[in-house]
């Protein structure tokens, strides 16, 4: 750990280290924030077979294909003081726009579909009859989820969490719309890369891009690893 800090200190300035820390913290916060609703949505999509399923799926996948700036703009409008939500937040003294909260929100919205997609596949692989059997053995719905669905789906779920985290780490468009690019306040790694490039400091931008690459590689590689383990288990 100590040697990493020493090398890091020589490679990155104090401000840049803070940016890395801020990015990791907001991305982790966003991932944690979307975990409960993401798992619920994935469960619902995996089990629900009624009408409107296709519409719901498409709606949930929308942030994957929309320009992130468009999503950011919609969020900005939704949080404005004239909307009921914005008004309510303002009356409680909660400021989201152009703060770290906006960074987390932008990341959360943009990574939500990725988490739901992976988690849904993981839940769909769990035989619903096993869940029914757990019920006949005396488990309520929550206990059946905890003792059967979750243990059988956790690898896929974890892969989804890692993917969502990676996506959050790379978020740019929506963040810049609702959080701005305020150094020391809302600036994340991807914003700082853009910022440095705009100021002609390409060497710093490159260093930060390298850091992002290493982080993203580590996250994706571990997601791959979990998925591979899961497939092997299923094949056994």
Q: Taking the complex as a whole, how short is the minimal distance between the CB of residue 147 and other proteins, in angstroms?
A: 7
Closer residue to other proteins, CB minimum distance, 67 or 140: 140
Nearer to other proteins, 138 or 200 (CB): 138
Closer to other proteins by Cβ: residue 87 or 128: 128
Q: How far is the CB of 225 from other proteins (least distance, A)?
A: 19
Rounded to a whole number of angstroms, the minimum distance from the CB of residue 39 to other proteins is 18
Nearer to other proteins, 8 or 151 (CB): 151
For residues 136 and 114, give the distance between their C-alpha atoms in angstroms, rounded to a whole number: 34
Token code pair at residue 84: 């009921």
Q: Give me the least distance between CB of 80 and other proteins, in Å please.
A: 44
Nearer to other proteins, 135 or 201 (CB): 135
Nearer to other proteins, 40 or 143 (CB): 143
Binding-site ranges for other proteins (CB under 8 A): 127, 129-130, 132-140, 143, 147-148, 151-152, 236
Q: How far is it, in rounded angstroms, from Cα 176 to Cα 172?
A: 6
- C-beta of 152: minimal distance to other proteins in Å? 6
Q: How far is the CB of 134 from other proteins (least distance, A)?
A: 7
């Amino acid at each position: 750990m100590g040697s990493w800090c020493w090398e890091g200190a020589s490679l990155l300035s104090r401000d840049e280290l803070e940016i890395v820390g801020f990015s990791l913290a907001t991305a982790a916060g966003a991932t944690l924030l979307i975990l409960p609703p993401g798992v619920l949505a994935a469960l619902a999509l995996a089990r629900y077979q009624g009408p409107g399923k296709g519409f719901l799926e498409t709606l949930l996948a929308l942030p994957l294909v929309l320009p992130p700036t468009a999503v950011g703009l919609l969020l900005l409008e939704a949080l404005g003081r004239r909307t009921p939500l914005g008004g309510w937040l303002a009356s409680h003294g909660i400021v989201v726009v152009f703060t770290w909260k906006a960074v987390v929100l932008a990341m959360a919205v943009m990574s939500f579909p990725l988490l739901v997609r992976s988690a849904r596949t993981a839940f769909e692989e769990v035989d619903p009859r096993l869940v029914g059997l757990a019920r006949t053995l005396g488990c309520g719905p929550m206990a059946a989820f905890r003792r059967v669905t979750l243990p059988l789906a956790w690898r896929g779920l974890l892969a989804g969490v890692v993917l969502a985290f990676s996506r959050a780490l790379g978020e740019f468009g929506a963040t810049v719309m609702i959080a701005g690019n305020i150094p020391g306040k809302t600036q994340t790694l991807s914003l700082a890369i853009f910022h440095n490039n705009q100021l002609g400091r390409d060497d710093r931008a490159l260093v930060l891009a390298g850091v992002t690459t290493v982080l993203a590689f580590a996250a994706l590689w571990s997601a791959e690893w979990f998925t591979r383990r899961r497939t092997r288990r299923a094949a056994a």
